[in-house]
Amino acid sequence: MIEKTSYIDRIIQNRVVSHFIFWIMFFIIFSILAVLNSGNLKESILSYLAFLPSQLMAGYFLVYYQVPKLLLKKKYALFGISFLLSVYIFSIVARLSSIYFAEPFFREDFYQESLLEVMKDPLYLAIVYFPTVYVVVFLMLIIKVVKDRFEEKHQFEILQKEKANTELKFLKAQTNPHFLFNTLNNLYSLTLAKSDKAPEVVLKLSDMLDYMLYQCNEPTVSIIKEIELIQNYLDIESLRYNKTLNVNFKHSCNNIDAKIAPLVLLPFIENAFKHSAKGTKATPIIEIELNMTNNKLRFKVRNSKPTTVNISRSKGIGMENIKRQLELHYKNNHDLVIDDGHDYFDVELNIVLK
């Protein structure tokens, strides 16, 4: 289906081929209608060929000069004069082609008017030859307008997509340093304490950075990769906080090959650690739940809130960043609910994965 669509697009984009197809199709349709009307195939074909030069000249003159150069530039008077004059001239051409080229082959004993006689009868030209010539011209104009609007819309969609991709790359460029900054702070704390856990944190961090730098360049990754990333992050934080933090991570997924935009879940967990591990609460709690059924992802994060709050703490870039990424990745296909309660901070994210 994709190859077929691409082939059709190439034909449409090729001006010579598309115009050739237009005139061939019109010839076939005109011939069929004419034969049904007169019953004479030879007469129909000759009549079409006789009108073809005037139709070609009138069509391309109107579509590629009069409309874009005069009408669309608001030169209405000049367009009106030019259009009336061209109608008169091309109707004369059509009449002369008919009486000197086509009619001698299927009519006998008929009078052939001179050029001057044809020019002196504008009313007859307007009634008989204007519709014959300009019906195909107006059809050509309509097709051209529709094609131009379609191309403009297509180009606009491409620009919007490129803009969204550029913005996503920028947001991801923010996300990675943001995560790295937080993790290095944790590692720094362990090294200051001369903890034996520091080498294990470095190893976990190495695995995470490998994933983030080299495996997250694609628009989507498998859900199992994101689960592994979350688990590595939890392991690092658990090594840092030891038993001073109660972390519970549950996940179930009926399709581990399902695809998700990378790094859209981790910032919520980062936020939970950032704010639950502060204050005077005896054992802060973080509960994480990830469920996926039939490409519908449900992700919940709950963290307890400290009994004392540092009002000067920075909001950071994480939450606003991830909200924007979700909007770009899953517009109209996600639902994010944040409940900032008295004792707990709850986040629930539902995504319909593509």
**pLDDT-derived band at 2, boundaries 50, 70, 90:** very low
Yes or no: say if 230 and 208 are a contact pair by the CB < 8 Å rule: no
Q: Are strands 296-304 and 259-260 parallel, antiparallel or unpaired?
A: unpaired
Yes or no: say if 220 and 257 are a contact pair by the CB < 8 Å rule: no
Yes or no: say if 344 and 304 are a contact pair by the CB < 8 Å rule: yes
pLDDT value, residue 342: 81
Q: What is the mean pLDDT of residues 8-36?
A: 73
**pLDDT-derived band at 45, boundaries 50, 70, 90:** confident
- 204, two tokens: 């976990």
pLDDT for 125 beyond 80: yes
**pLDDT-derived band at 350, boundaries 50, 70, 90:** very high
Tell me: the pLDDT tens digits for 336-347? Answer: 999 988 888 999
Angle at 193 between CA 278 and CA 308, to 5 degrees: 10
pLDDT for 293 beyond 60: yes
pLDDT value, residue 33: 73
Tell me: the pLDDT tens digits for 159-178? Answer: 666 655 655 555 555 555 65
pLDDT value, residue 204: 79
pLDDT value, residue 1: 44
pLDDT value, residue 191: 79
Tell me which range, 13-27, 97-111, 150-164, 295-309, is most confidently predicted by mean pLDDT. 295-309
Among 11-15, 180-184, 328-332, which stretch is predicted with the lowest mean pLDDT?
A: 11-15
**Sequence letter at residue 217:** N
pLDDT value, residue 195: 74
pLDDT value, residue 251: 93
> pTM for the complete prediction?
0.52
pLDDT value, residue 298: 95
Yes or no: say if 333 and 349 are a contact pair by the CB < 8 Å rule: no
Q: Does 158 or 309 have the greater pLDDT score?
A: 158
Tell me the pLDDT of the chain averaged across its residues. Answer: 79
pLDDT value, residue 163: 59
Yes or no: say if 345 and 331 are a contact pair by the CB < 8 Å rule: no
Q: What is the mean pLDDT of residues 209-228?
A: 82
**pLDDT-derived band at 348, boundaries 50, 70, 90:** very high
Element (H, E) at 144: helix 130-192
Beta bridge partners of 190: none
* CA gap 294, 286 in Å, rounded: 27
pLDDT value, residue 336: 93
pLDDT value, residue 278: 60
**Sequence letter at residue 209:** L
pLDDT for 5 beyond 60: no
* CA gap 38, 43 in Å, rounded: 8
Among 42-46, 55-59, 314-318, which stretch is predicted with the lowest mean pLDDT?
A: 314-318
Q: What is the mean pLDDT of residues 284-308?
A: 88
Yes or no: say if 215 and 221 are a contact pair by the CB < 8 Å rule: yes
pLDDT value, residue 312: 42
**pLDDT-derived band at 7, boundaries 50, 70, 90:** low
Q: What is the mean pLDDT of residues 275-289?
A: 75
pLDDT value, residue 299: 96
pLDDT value, residue 219: 80
* Alpha helices for 193-264 (secondary structure H): 198-210, 223-241
pLDDT value, residue 48: 74
Tell me the C-alpha to C-alpha distance, in Å, between residue 195 and each of 198, 201, 284. 6, 10, 22
* CA gap 69, 66 in Å, rounded: 6
Helix axes 318-329, 266-276, angle to 10 degrees: 160
Yes or no: say if 267 and 322 are a contact pair by the CB < 8 Å rule: yes
Among 144-158, 226-240, 282-296, which stretch is predicted with the lowest mean pLDDT?
A: 144-158
**pLDDT-derived band at 105, boundaries 50, 70, 90:** low
Tell me the C-alpha to C-alpha distance, in Å, between residue 294 and each of 66, 259, 263, 266, 300. 57, 12, 21, 22, 18
**Sequence letter at residue 138:** F
Beta bridge partners of 286: 247, 303
Among 58-72, 251-265, 281-295, 316-330, which stretch is predicted with the lowest mean pLDDT?
A: 316-330
Distance of CA 259 to the CA centre of its chain: 19
